[in-house]
Amino acid sequence: MARLILLNKPYDVLSQFTDRGTQGARATLSDHVAVPGVYPAGRLDRDSEGLLLLTDDGRLQARIADPRFKLPKTYLVQVEGAPDAAALDRLRQGVALNDGPTRPAEVMAIDPPDLWERVPPIRFRKSVPDHWLSLTIREGRNRQVRRMTAAVGLPTLRLVRWRIGPWSVEGLAPGEWREVVA
């Protein structure tokens, strides 16, 4: 039976078990998950937080990570600025990026979610408002959500992956994980 682990990846942790970088020791998944034989099903940038799925099954990993399967990924995104109807419509229609247009996203403005504190906290500027979006995509290009929001004039300040398909990070503190039935 395949193992599937839901991890709430903290900010500033690499989505890999070892650090092959030259920048000194950086936090990795091995600092949080001591389960042999599992590996990430997809990636989450070092400066992003939230749900990362780990599995020991190659077919399950492919079903989760491969864009052909169009598994929805929902992010809670704190953006700089105030999203207007035009910016949200552009995200819903798909945004032109330098590597081609994105698929349409599901997006809506939301009240600030009840999340854990980020360490370190995001920068705060009195003169520039910030707002939260719930954004769901069905592809997974490099830094895609950040590039999409920037393309519509709303730079991302904080990015939390909340859900992948039926699995959610709800109830897990940063660095915590639980095993579920795949």
DSSP designation for 41: S
Under a CB-based contact definition with an 8 Å cutoff, are residues 161 and 44 in contact? yes
Residues classed as catalytic: 45
- Give me the pLDDT at residue 85, please: 97
- Give me the pLDDT at residue 24, please: 66
Comparing CA positions, the residue from 71, 25, 77, 68 lying closest to residue 48 is 77
Structure tokens at 166: 């039926």
Q: Is the pLDDT of residue 67 over 80?
A: no
Q: Is the pLDDT of residue 1 over 90?
A: no
Residue ranges and CATH numbers for the domains of the chain are 3-67+166-181 (3.30.70.580), 72-164 (3.30.70.1560)
Structure tokens at 67: 């864009």
Question: Which residues, including other chains, have CB under 8 Å from residue 9's CB and lie 6 or more apart?
Answer: 15, 29, 32, 44, 48, 49, 50, 51, 52, 174
pLDDT digits (tens, 9 = 90+) for 133-178: 999 999 888 899 999 999 999 999 999 999 999 999 999 999 999 9
Q: Report the predicted TM-score, pTM, of the whole model to 2 decimal places.
A: 0.93
